[in-house]
Structure 1
Amino acid sequence: MTAMTRVTIPATAPDQGDGRKVVSALCFSVMTLAILQAAVVPVVPTMARQLAVGPTAVGWVVTANLLAAAVVTPVLSRLADQRGCRPVLIGMLIAVVIGSVLCVLSPSLPLLIIGRVMQGAGFALFPIGVAVVRAVLDERRVTRAIGLMSGIMAAGGGLGIVAAGVLVVDGGDYRRVFWMLLVLSLVALIVVWWAIPDTRRRDTHGRRFDAAGTVLIAVALCALLLAIAEGSRWGTWVILPLGIGSCGCFCWWYRYEKRCADPLIPPRALIDRAVTPVHIAAVLVGAAMYVQFLGIAQFVQIDAGLGGYGFGYTVLEASLMFLLPGSVVGVVTATLSGRLISRFRADLVLASMCGVGLVGFTLLGFTHDQPWQIVVAAGVINVFVSGAYTALPSLLIEAVPAGDTAVVNGVNAIARVVGSSLASAVVASLLAVMTLEGSDVPSESAFTLSFVLGGAAAAGAGVCGLLAHTRAEG
């Protein structure tokens, strides 16, 4: 296993007070990212009504952001490793601010989609933030900082959903959400400019940007995510070529990167005995998280008079009662997980958290007759998600050199996106196919099966975490 090493930084490393300033700025930034990602989803139907467009067209507000995030995250993460985190973070947040301005001012859907593409740059905040804390903090404080960042990011998602529900209640203008995102992005830009030090490494001077590798990975990721996100609408004859093309591009990209002197993503950051299981675990954790999010949000909105289950809550009520408490639990869990990782191995913490997730999904799948039961199960699952999101970067830090910190965490972040996209497609398909006789209302068994799959994903992630440590020792 590669020992943890610190990045070469300016002559004097930040003291403890400066370290707190850096971590505080990064926490606010990743919270902004989480709100930016989550707050838009509940208002998509409102956008469709107010822009007078169909559900397929308005869906690109989410899809375009997802594709942009997948493409730019590895690129920006590698640039941060090679050119320093501070300029990349500042440039990224400037792009997010401009994108937010476009979303606020957009009179039509195309300009709104362009704004969402620019906002996709913000997805690289977390992996680059991990590289920053590894550069400026000692080993003991790194895991605690990652835990706090993970918890704040988890809470930000819940806050974003609640804020969106409040801002557009009773038919409010969807642009209110983007005004909120614009203000948060501006503040994040200011605090990053003020707090983040220069972390440029002296041994990367003269390295060239890998343009060919960037194009190949961008095509491969876009084809893969389009196949997942649009599969149900486009049909097999479109999705099959996309899937085959994605596999072909990935293989071409991998062969090229193995020969490239300065690859965009070093093959060891993707395919390595100690790294690959962590990326697979990220796919599974991302999938489990979305199973919980989508399943609970839709389950509690079903009218019991129609389906024989559910509670008939609104989107805002569902967010406040079931999702927000779990986000609060997630903050506490992530902070404690950082301390646990400092004392025990990261793989053991990940496996333990995945065991907790299995318990939570079991509760959710088979005891959901009362609202309090779902609140408890959601809290247990958020313990798992937040703890796992803290352990994954720690496992990667143990496995790669300091110069690959941002890019390997960027790859891991994209793995979580792939998992979330897969879960979204699977849950949507189950709820569409397994319906009550004579109606389009999902059956209770569709939700139960979804939650069982979430538990299986959690268990699989734990096994992958342990396998990563075993292989690293071997």
Structure 2
Amino acid sequence: MTEGSSPPRSTGPLLTALCVAGMLAATMQTAVIPILGRIGEQTGAGDTAVSWIVTANLLSSAVSTPLFGRLGDLRGKRNAIQVCLALMLAGSVLAAITTSLPLLIVARVLQGAVTGVFPLALSVARDAVAKEKLTGAMALISATLSVGGSLGLVAAGVLASGDSDYRNVFWLASAVGVLAIAAVAAWVPGGGAEHGRGSVDWPGAGLLGGALVLVLLPLSQGDSWGWGSPATITLFVLSPFAFLVWVLVERRAAAPLVDVGMLTHRTFALTNVGAVLMGFAMFGLYLGTSMFVQMPTGRAGYGFSASVLSAATVYLLPPALISLVAAPMGGILVKRFSGRTGLAVAGTAALVGFGSLTLWHGSTAAVITGAVIAGGALSLAYAAMPALVVQSVPLSRTGIANSINSIGRSVGASAAGAVVAAVLAATTKDSTGLPGESGFVWVFGLSAGAGALTALGALLISRTPPRPGPAAPSGTTPRVEERRPV
């Protein structure tokens, strides 16, 4: 527990509030995917312009997540969560009342701030939940990533069916945002800033955000700009130099946003690599499955001619439901064995699930089976990662550490979007104007490879968690050795 804050009598209400907030953060990333075409129709915008609705949210998430993570460490996690949710609510209301594409893009920038809720929720759990219940609590919160992502697609599919107004999706987000703000205010304890003393490293935050933009912008817009275009190549070339400058600045900062030495810790580094890979696999599942089943069977020679509604409810809802079951199982697995074991099992399950989709996708039952296994694997992975993160960083850096891990998932998801677009475009047949079946085989196969690499990386993590170091003197920043084992 943090000093100066009293835990609630029951963790039930606290976890409910954190899970609702975390699920909302995941939902905001995927809910617009099924309605992009509808937005283009109702705003009169072209595909390239509409793609900025996704890109703007992605860039906002990347820039704001580490900043809110550090603000939570310094100023209180509940305060930071409420600010994230308030910005999301403002963006949702703006998106719901406008038909202007520029204003909709601004709204998506505001909504992007909600991604910072997830690492903050994990930090609150670490501070407020009893040690014997912590592993299960963090696993449950982590499951909101896969569950919320799937439910975002399902909800959008239902609300956008027929000739419905795309803005219904944002009205629903606004309503859930109000509920989340009320739940956090009522059930999440205050305090939580006692371990972090200092100020926000604004230069470090700006440089990190800029470096991430140089990576994520060409990933998200490369298909529109052209992968060989000067803009795409220039941004990719500049990105490593931007990260190098950021590292040099952070090493000299008195109170850095990120302790760069923390990034080289083997457990933390491999967990973040797993986050990138699982982020790739998650969007490989969402995008690959959704697009595959909607392919018109008569013209394409494969697929199931599913509607947006059918794709969401028949094919993507089962993985979302299995994630709810897999989350507590992941918590038990991590508590009984270790986060290392949990991540290895998750990677292996992802290999099996996506491998099944790669080889057998000719029937509805086969696609649902593969998607369910893959969805459960994602939930297991997200249950294991927080346990690995918190055992490898000092207590005062929990917020920023979970933010870095969250950014890894965003980078992986962006890479998946770029790869899916490039692969499907490369296999598109001139005779039909549709991607060939081999394109989806590649998408599922690459996601299976991401699972295999995740399992391999987990096996390279040390079997023995690091021991907590001595307490840091008052007023100083604890070193990386100070960790609270989970």
Q: TM-score, normalised by structure 2?
A: 0.92
Distance 2:405 2:221 in 1: 23
User: 232-241 vs 127-136, which deviates more?
Assistant: 232-241
CA distance in 2, matches of 1:254, 1:180: 41
Contact 1:325 1:379 (C-alpha < 8 Å) held by counterparts? yes
Find the aligned partners of 1:355 and 1:143 in 2 and give their Cα distance. 21
| Correspondence 1:251-270 to 2 at 5 A | 251-270=244-263
Which residue of 1 is the match for residue 477 of structure 2?
A: none
The 1:438–1:12 alpha-carbon spacing in structure 2 relative to 1, beyond 3 Å, is closer
- Aligned: 1:383 with 2:372: no
Work out which of the residue numbers 45, 54, 57 in structure 1 matches 2:49.
57
Indicate if the aligned counterparts of 2:281 and 2:448 stay in contact, CA closer than 8 A: yes
Q: 1:430 aligns with which of 396, 420, 423?
A: 423
CA distance in structure 2 between the partners assigned to 1:453 and 1:225 by the alignment = 20
The residue identity in structure 2 corresponding to 1:157 is: G
What is the aligned counterpart of 1:329 among 319, 322, 330?
322
Instruction: Note closer, same or farther for the CA distance 1:437–1:97 as it changes in structure 2 (3 Å cut).
Output: closer
Q: Higher helix share goes to which structure?
A: 1
Q: Does 1:134 align with 2:137?
A: no
Structure 2 residue 461 is the aligned partner of structure 1 residue 461: no
Q: Is it true that 1:10 corresponds to 2:1 in the alignment?
A: no
Letter in structure 2 aligned against 1:232: D
Q: State the match for 2:483 in structure 1.
A: none
Which residue, out of 356, 360, 369, partners 2:353?
360
| Distance in 1 between residues matched to 2:216 and 2:464, nearest whole Å | 29
3-state SS, counterpart of residue 132 of structure 2: helix
Tell me the equivalent position of 1:250.
243
C-alpha contact (below 8 Å) 2:70/2:200 kept by paired residues: no
Residue 473 of structure 1 and its aligned partner are, at CA, apart by: 6.3
Distance 1:11 1:114 in 2: 36
Larger mean CA deviation between 228-237 and 45-54 belongs to: 228-237
SS of the residue 1:204 aligns to: coil
Contact 2:161 2:308 in 1 (8 A): no
Aligned to 1:293, which of 269, 283, 286?
A: 286
1:336 to partner: Cα distance:
1.2
**Cα offset, 1:270, TM superposition:** 2.6
**TM superposition shift of 1:95:** 1.1
What are the superposed Cα offsets for residues 62-110 of structure 1, whole Å, 9 maximum, x if unpaired?
1101000000000000110121101111111111111112111224111
Matched, 1:396 2:423: no
Q: Structure 1: 5+ residue runs without aligned partners?
A: 1-5
User: Superposition pairs for residues 56-455 of structure 1, below 5 Å?
Assistant: 56-205=48-197, 207-235=198-226, 236=228, 237-436=230-429, 438-455=431-448
1:102-132 deviation digits (Å, cap 9, x = unpaired): 1112241111111110110100111000000
> How far has the Cα of 1:157 moved from its partner?
2.1
State the shift of 1:470 in Å. Answer: 5.2
CA change 1:337–1:434 in 2 (3 A) is same
Cα separation, 2, equivalents of 1:58 and 1:188: 28
Question: Match of 1:310, as an amino acid?
Answer: G
1:37-56 alignment runs, 5 A limit: 37-56=29-48
Whole-Å separation in 2 of the counterparts to 1:95 and 1:196 = 18
- AA aligned opposite 1:177: V
Deviations 1:192-240 (A, max 9, x none): 01111123333534x1221111111111011110111111222331112
Query: What is the distance in 1 between the residues matched to 2:312 and 2:455?
Result: 28
Is contact 1:273–1:472 with CA below 8 Å preserved after alignment? no
The question of whether the paired residues in 2 share the 8 Å contact of 1:135 and 1:199 is answered with no
Pairwise CA distance, 1:471: 8.9
Q: What is the percentage of aligned positions where both structures have the same residue? A: 36
Paired position in structure 2 for 1:3: none
Amino acid at match of 2:452: A
1:344-374 Cα offsets, whole Å, 9 max, x none, are 1111111011111111111111111110011
- Alignment correspondent of 2:12: 20
| AA of the residue aligned to 2:89 | V
Offset of residue 246 of structure 1? 1.4
Structure 1 distance, partners of 2:261, 2:15, is 28
- 2:74 aligned partner, one-letter code: Q
Secondary structure, aligned partner of 2:294: coil
Q: Which moved more, 1:408-417 or 1:440-449?
A: 440-449
Q: Is the 8 A contact 2:25 2:115 kept in 1?
A: yes
Bigger RCO (CA 8 Å, 6+ sep): 1
Q: CA shift at 1:40, angstroms? A: 1.4
8 Å CA contact 1:155–1:327 kept in 2: the answer is: yes
Does the CA contact (< 8 Å) of 1:151 and 1:332 recur in 2?
no
Using the size of structure 1 for normalisation, the TM-score is 0.95
Distance of 1:455 and 1:335 partners within structure 2: 24
Deviates more, 1:171-180 or 1:435-444: 435-444
Match of residue 475 from structure 2: none
Aligned mates of 1:98, 1:42 — CA distance in 2:
22
Indicate how the Cα distance of structure 1 residues 373 and 71 shifts in structure 2: closer, same or farther if over 3 A, else same: same
Question: Does structure 1 retain, via aligned residues, the 8 Å contact 2:74–2:199?
Answer: no
